[in-house]
Amino acid sequence: MEKIKFTSQIIKSSISVDSERTYLYAKFEGEYPVGSLGNGEGMFIFSKISAAYFLFDTIVNIIVDLSDLEYKKGNTLLKAINFFEEIGRDLEEKDKKVIVISSSSNYESIKSLKGMTKNKNIILESDLNTAILIAKKDIEEFFK
């Protein structure tokens, strides 16, 4: 029997939730292999977000911080930034937002990846503070 590892040798992750457990913050750093070579890392990122999301049924939005990820190309990462379209069980869940924090070095690549979907609930930002403000504002609207 072959062991299955839920780790990546090249991608590090850190995941947390806010004190009210309404948004999830997932940070990934390292070097994402180009193209198909990154399929495992893309699934690793998606799986980590999925596991954390399903632990807390109160999550409204997800902030995915890729600002320290060296990313150039690889479609499997789309599963993570298009998270709610991938796992959405109903229209309300599919309407939740994923706020992606990019860096100046990976912005164009992530923007191009985002362009592969018609999902309007993926928001690209450049800093954590702005992403948190967007998440909190959206949470207030969600619970009105």
Which residues make beta-bridge pairs with 64? 26, 100
Q: What is the pLDDT of residue 121?
A: 94
CATH topology of domain 11-142: Transcription Regulator spoIIAA (3.30.750)
pLDDT > 70 in the chain, percent: 93
User: How many other β-carbons are positioned within 10 Å of the β-carbon of residue 140?
Assistant: 11
Give the sheet arrangement for strand 98-101, strand by strand.
Answer: 11-17, 23-31, 61-70, 98-101, 122-125
What does the domain layout of the chain look like in residue ranges? 11-142
Question: Given this model, what pLDDT does residue 30 score?
Answer: 96
**Per-residue pLDDT in tens (0 to 9) along the chain, 144 residues:** 655 555 678 999 999 999 888 899 999 999 999 999 999 999 999 999 999 999 887 788 999 999 999 999 999 999 999 999 999 888 888 889 999 999 999 999 999 999 999 899 999 999 999 999 999 888 777 776
Alpha-carbon distance values, 55 to 15, 50, 121 (Å): 12, 9, 22
Task: Give the pLDDT score at 48.
Answer: 94
Per-residue pLDDT tens for 74-92?
A: 999 999 999 999 998 888 8
Alpha helices (H) along the chain: 39-55, 78-81, 83-87, 91-94, 107-114, 128-142
CA distance 80 to 76: 8
The CA angle 111-27-37, to the nearest 5 degrees, is 60
DSSP string, 68-99: EEE-S--GGGHHHHTHHHHH--SHHHHT--EE
Q: Residue 91: what pLDDT?
A: 86
